[in-house]
Amino acid sequence: MGKKTKVAIAIAAASAAAWAGSKAISKPQKREDKEVLQHTHPIVLAHRGGSHLAPEHTMIAFEKAVSLGVDGFEIDIRLTKDEEIVVFHDETVDRTSNGAGFVKDLTIEELKQLNFGYHFEDLEGNFPYREQKVEIVTLRELFEIYPNMYINIDIKDGPDSYEGSLMPSKLWRLIEEFGAENRIVVTSFYSEQVDRFNLYAQNQVALGAGENDVRKAFTAFTSQFGHLYHPKVDVFQIPTKFGVVSLESSKFIQFLGKLNIPVHFWTINDPNTMERLIKLGAKGIVTDRPDIAVPLLQQLEEERNKDKKE
């Protein structure tokens, strides 16, 4: 046996021993149940209220989504100049309103003067809200009007910004004021923001995965050391692809499921993709088209129940 062969065998043996040792001392820890995630069927979350059907993040959109039978909303939040939490995605108001400027530089009173339905184009190519004022919505207003709705909240202000530094504590205080702990999921692309929020929430609110969480989980899943992965979030709301890596994997969904972590995919507007993801094991669909998603998922659930009886 050559020297190189002996070295290769020694390395393989050491790797196997390390794997066996880590397996013996480290067991995956399931996340505790969170009430907001206890569903008996796959759910539909209206992305920004269902932004292909009505002006995004407006009461018109939320009312439309509720009338269609969604299970909840997927929303973004930002902080205004006077430190009000508004339901809004972009840094600036340019794309959706008849005004311009950064959200962080405008007060809630200034924002309320703008028409946030101005640029909305419906499915027929019309602009139906140009002649009326569609107001921006505060998170407080959304909590007040929909006291029982599942709301997935995505913190958009980055952790290194002034607004981002204030957001975790302000968000927690508002959730606590309304007693909304059991119907909210808090997430952010910035995993650090989720961690900061949880310093206040202390696991009383369900947490969604940030980019770092997704990266760590998928790396663990594709390695031989998945048993070393200990999640610190309760739900994965993910795209079908993460960079060039496909996340449409029944085995990845099962890997997370064994840790009591459901997977929701965004933003899915095609019925064939919705059906495929549900059959792979997804527990939720985030969509701009709740008019398509709600009846489709109801149909799939009826078919599943029928198959069980037979």
Residue 224: the pLDDT is: 74
Q: Are 235 and 213 in contact (CB under 8 A)?
A: no
Residue 23: the pLDDT is: 45
Mean pLDDT for the stretch of residues 23-29? 53
Residue 4: the pLDDT is: 46
- How many whole angstroms separate alpha carbon 59 and alpha carbon 128? 15
Mean pLDDT for the stretch of residues 222-240? 89
Helix axes 211-222, 191-201, angle to 10 degrees: 110
Q: Which two tokens stand for residue 158?
A: 């980055």
**What tens digit of pLDDT does each residue of 79-132 get?**
999 999 999 999 999 999 999 999 999 999 999 999 999 999 999 999 999 999
Q: Are 68 and 296 in contact (CB under 8 A)?
A: no
Domains of the chain as residue ranges with CATH: 29-309 (3.20.20.190)
pLDDT band at 27 (very low <50, low <70, confident <90, very high): low
**What tens digit of pLDDT does each residue of 46-80 get?**
999 999 999 999 999 999 999 999 999 999 999 99
Q: What SS3 class is residue 12?
A: helix
**Rounded to 5 degrees, what are φ and ψ at 100?**
-145, 160
**Which residues lie closer than 8 Å to 303 by C-beta, 6 or more apart?**
none
- How many whole angstroms separate alpha carbon 265 and alpha carbon 113? 35
